Amino acid sequence: MKGSVSLLLASSSLLGAESGLQINKRHDPAVVSFNFEKNTRDASPSLGRRADDVAEMNVDKHDTTFFYWANFTIDTPPQNLYAEIGTGSSDLLVLTDEIETCKKEECIGNIFNIQKSRTSDLVGSGSFGSRESWSGYYANDTFSFGNVKLDGFQFVATTEFNCTTAGIFSMFGVGLPSGEHAAQKFPSLPYALRNAGEINTAAYSLLLDDDQSGHFLFSRTKPSTRGLR
């Protein structure tokens, strides 16, 4: 399935409106869970085992800072990607083969082949809190992790990434739609999962089993749950 470019001509409700996404629904939607384990950022994270209701997530280390990494696919046939979980970011940014540095295999997060999704119109740019700046295409395509599949999920195919401190990496945003860089807001991942009926509440929590592994849960009521109301 080829991806299609989104020119952001239609807005979506932040809470309850239909998002236009299609998904393989479970009979009793409640929780979407990621497993993760500790690793280092400068090592290539494994895509890991996929199982029902579980998508693998690695925790990677860069210098003295820990980062959480999500494994997922975009496109049909799927392209395997991974990205740093960003609770303060709302966009899903994936690196593409149009970034010169990525052509030299110096990027983190695997490389998305932009030609397979026919993303061709540059519609936005923005910056991260740590002063990295990016620009790219907003595009729609099939997005999957574990046994969850969203058709028409919007993401940013990054074509320029000017790094200042932390390296060139993909970003897996789970924040509020208001934090998106697009002029017209669209459901970020927790809202897209809820709107499509995969989970009941746009909330997430990070639960540590030990110092090496744990779970990143969407729509789970725990003391550490962060709701996106």
Higher pLDDT, 181 or 140: 140
Residue closest to 158 by CA, chosen among 98, 228, 88 = 98
Helix or strand (DSSP H, E) at 103: helix 100-103
Percent of the chain with pLDDT over 70: 52
Average pLDDT, the chain: 65
Higher pLDDT, 92 or 15: 92
* Residue 106, SS3 per DSSP: coil
Higher pLDDT, 134 or 92: 92
Residue type, 152: G
Q: Could you give the CA distance from residue 221 to residue 229 in angstroms, rounded to a whole number?
A: 14
Q: Which own/partner pairs from 32-35 qualify as long-range (CB within 8 Å, at least 24 positions apart)? A: 32/146, 32/148, 32/193, 32/198, 32/199, 32/217, 32/218, 32/219, 33/146, 33/215, 33/216, 33/217, 33/218, 33/220, 34/70, 34/145, 34/146, 34/215, 34/216, 34/217, 35/213, 35/214, 35/215
At residue 54, does pLDDT exceed 70?
no
Higher pLDDT, 131 or 221: 131
At residue 147, does pLDDT exceed 70?
yes
Higher pLDDT, 33 or 48: 33
Determine the pLDDT at residue 51: 35
**What are the beta bridge partners of residue 213?**
37
Residue closest to 54 by CA, chosen among 78, 77, 70 = 70
Domain ranges of the chain: 4-224
Architecture of domain 4-224 in this structure: Beta Barrel (2.40)
Residue closest to 172 by CA, chosen among 68, 33, 29 = 68
